[in-house]
Structure 1
Amino acid sequence: MEINKLINLQRLILADNRIENLPVNLGLLKSLKVATLDGNRIRALPDELGQLVKLERLSVSANLLMSLPETIGRLQNGPAAPGRGWLNLENKWLYCSWCCWTFQTIS
């Protein structure tokens, strides 16, 4: 099944699957609210995650991420939105040029 046909999908749970890359057409899942991607081998998140306007919870702990795409920070109700979303990075040091103002606002 092609991922772009899952337009009503609200929860995507792909934890512990040794996934290394996410498809760029993941951004087509406009109804997606929760993405659990913990315990994989993901090195980078696609910029297209910024197209997931309903995304509220993003969990990417225990991956190989070194940075987060700026597009995630632009989501008004997204996982990095102050006081709204939920972003799980658990014990991960990342470079994130847009995070400073976002996380300072939360604290």
Structure 2
Amino acid sequence: LQSRGLVFSYALAVSEENASGGQIVTAPTCGSCGVVPSVLYHLEEIRDFSKNRMLRALATAGLFGNIVKKNASISGAEVGCQGEVGVACAMAAAAANQLFG
């Protein structure tokens, strides 16, 4: 339970940075910017994956995001918030699978 709480707090931290006008990396959009970084950060913290493995996982997440962007939409304005957060969750899951794969 504590582990999930940490992931949630990391996601909120990124989202708050976005809401306050700070600089973030969209993954895949500003509205869902906390999902991918929170999962990757948490996995790096608890498992101590190498930088190379983390970069490969991030690239895998990006590939999944590009597939959706090309074939459907990542825009909350087009498909709703569930669509953009769903894509972010798929990207995070792809990255996690790459790490554990």
TM-score by length of 2: 0.21
Higher relative contact order (CA 8 A, sep 6+): 2
- Higher helix content, 1 or 2: 2
- Higher strand content, 1 or 2: 1
